[in-house]
Amino acid sequence: MDTTLNRTPLLSLVTPMYNEEQGMEAFFRSTVSVLETITDRWEIICVDDGSRDATLPMLRHRHAEEPRIRYLSLSRNFGKEAALTAGLDYAAGDAVIPIDADLQDPPELIAMMVQEWRKGFKVVLATRRRRTGEGWFKRLSAKGFYRLISRVATVPIPENTGDFRLLDRQVVEVIRRLPERTRFMKGLFAWAGFSTTRLYYDRPARAAGAAKYNLQAMWRHAKDGIFSFTTLPLRISAYLGAIISMGAIAYAGYIILRTLVRGADLPGYASLITAVLFMGGIQLVSLGIIGEYIGRIYRETKQRPIYVLKEQSL
């Protein structure tokens, strides 16, 4: 990438959009006005993630009026992580900022991010201090998930930090070289490393439209994060197996001794059935965990593209 000193750096925003017709005007209004205060060399890459509403025609229209608003359109709904991947592939900026279309990632923060970037940081995180306007379940589950994954993952995935962050071109190039199909972007960003600083903000409620993630999608996303960034579950099942086997050996010794001393007695159905059921349960859970990894290996080996483009602006 050419980042010679004699030209002003280009700033790219990357916005995945799935059925965002309602909030789009407000989104462009506030982001463009913030961008204009920073530089006139900016672009917004909007990725239409197979929307079924007027998102795509509205993007075409916006692009015709303002060519710095560019768009990609995917052939169907591939999910936010794939849409972001597409956007990062096409963004040309020296700094790239993934940002949600619903104004939950406040554009005002962009100016501060750029300031930190100019100081030399390659990554500027935006960490959520408070989440207003999100239900208790979303807040609680997100908190639990971030806490868990920041403990168990093999790369430090920062707590309460979404995809909203500034990435230097160098970091974007690293992310683009990561070939995996299961794209847990927060994890991939963390994997890349580089000098990182952090800003804090209060996360507001969605400006318009409805959240696109239901419970099932959140659960899948959480599993992707865990299973792509740690093999701890495999180790847990191995350790559990070892502990239970040792318990079983000790118990067997005790039974043998007792039989030698006191002779055989038949009662013992309760302990027997408990042990059988417990072991069966542990085995199924362990198989399930192995299954999660094998499923992921299977998906990776198929080498399917991460997204399919249907249309794009120049």
Residues of the shown chain interacting with ligand UDP in the complex, contacts defined by CB under 6 A: 16-18, 20, 49, 77, 79-80, 83, 100-102, 104, 206, 211-213
- CB of residue 206 vs ligand UDP: minimum separation in angstroms? 6
Find which of ligand UDP, Mg ion, none residue 21 binds, CB within 5 to 8 Å per kind: none
Residue whose CB is less far from ligand UDP, 77 or 312 = 77
Note whether 162 and 97 are within 8 A (CB): no
Q: Give the span between the Cα atoms of 112 and 209, in whole angstroms.
A: 27
Note whether 53 and 60 are within 8 A (CB): no
Residue whose CB is less far from ligand UDP, 158 or 241 = 158
Find which of ligand UDP, Mg ion, none residue 56 binds, CB within 5 to 8 Å per kind: none
DSSP code string of 58-123:
HHHHHHHH-TTEEEEEESS---HHHHHHHHHHH---SEEEE--TTS-S-THHHHHHHHHHHTT-SE
Note whether 161 and 137 are within 8 A (CB): no
> Which residue type, as a one-letter code, is found at position 255?
I
Q: Where are the beta strands (DSSP E) in the chain?
A: 11-17, 42-48, 69-74, 95-98, 123-131, 161-168, 196-203, 309-312
- CB of residue 61 vs ligand UDP: minimum separation in angstroms? 18
Find which of ligand UDP, Mg ion, none residue 168 binds, CB within 5 to 8 Å per kind: none
Tell me the β-bridge partners of 130.
202
Q: Give the span between the Cα atoms of 12 and 45, in whole angstroms.
A: 7
- CB of residue 109 vs Mg ion: minimum separation in angstroms? 15
Residues lying near Mg ion in the complex (CB under 5 A) are found at 102, 104, 206
Residue whose CB is less far from ligand UDP, 16 or 233 = 16
Find which of Mg ion, ligand UDP, none residue 83 binds, CB within 5 to 8 Å per kind: ligand UDP
Judged by DSSP in three states, 241 sits in: helix
- CB of residue 77 vs ligand UDP: minimum separation in angstroms? 5
Residue whose CB is less far from ligand UDP, 85 or 228 = 85
Residue whose CB is less far from Mg ion, 9 or 209 = 209
- CB of residue 155 vs ligand UDP: minimum separation in angstroms? 21
Find which of Mg ion, ligand UDP, none residue 16 binds, CB within 5 to 8 Å per kind: ligand UDP
Nearest Cα to Cα of residue 167 among 90, 114, 127:
114
Find which of Mg ion, ligand UDP, none residue 81 binds, CB within 5 to 8 Å per kind: none
Residue whose CB is less far from Mg ion, 68 or 221 = 221
Residue whose CB is less far from ligand UDP, 20 or 168 = 20
- CB of residue 279 vs ligand UDP: minimum separation in angstroms? 40
Q: Give the span between the Cα atoms of 2 and 257, in whole angstroms.
A: 78
Judged by DSSP in three states, 186 sits in: helix
Find which of ligand UDP, Mg ion, none residue 48 binds, CB within 5 to 8 Å per kind: none
